[in-house]
Amino acid sequence: MRAVIQRVSEAACQVDGEITGQIGLGLLVLLGIEGADTDDDLQWLAQKIASMRIFDDGNGLMNKALADVDGNILLISQFTLFAQTKKGNRPSFIKAARPEKAIPIYEQMIKTLHEITGKKIATGIFAADMKVSLINDGPVTIIMNTKDRENH
C-alpha cells in the first residue's frame, strides 16, 4: 500500500456535486492498494496513520497525534499512486490492485481506522470521479509505502 498523508485544517470530497466526506482538522489520506498487499500491510499502515505525531504542540513542534488534537480522517482511494512511468508518456497502473481485491481492502481500512480512532472515517466513493479539496496545514505531507517499512 502507498499513502499520501496530508495534515489539513479542512478537506472535502465531492462526487457529482454532492459532498461524500468532509473534515475539519485532521488528515487527508490518499490510499493506493497494490495487488500484493496483505492484512499485515493494512494493519501496519492504519496504526502508523493514527499514531503519527505530526500536529503541533504548544511550542510549535510536531509532537501530537491525531487523537491529541481530536482530529478526523478523510480517506480517498487512489489507484494512480501505483503509476509506472518508465516507458513512454502514458502511465501504466498494472501494479494497482483490481477492484475485486482493492474494494474489500479499502473497506477494511475504513473499518480499521474507525476501530483505532473511535471516529467515523470520512470517505470518497471508490472508483468515482472525485473532486478533493483541502487546505494543507504547514504544509505537512508524508508519503508511506508498506513495502519500504525500514524507511518509515
80 as an active site residue: the answer is yes
Q: Each residue of 74-112: b (16+ CB within 10 Å) or e? A: bbbbbbebbeeeeeeeeeeeebbbeeeebeebbeebbeb
What b/e string do you get for 43-59 counting C-beta neighbours within 10 Å, with b at 16 or more?
ebbbebbbebebbbeee
Of the candidates 20, 38, 80, 85, the residue annotated as catalytic is: 80
CB 94 within 8 A of CB 49: no
Interatomic CA distance for residues 102 and 84, integer angstroms:
18
Using a 10 angstrom Cβ sphere, with 0-12 exposed, 13-18 middle and 19 or more buried, the burial of residue 17 is exposed
| Residues with catalytic function | 80
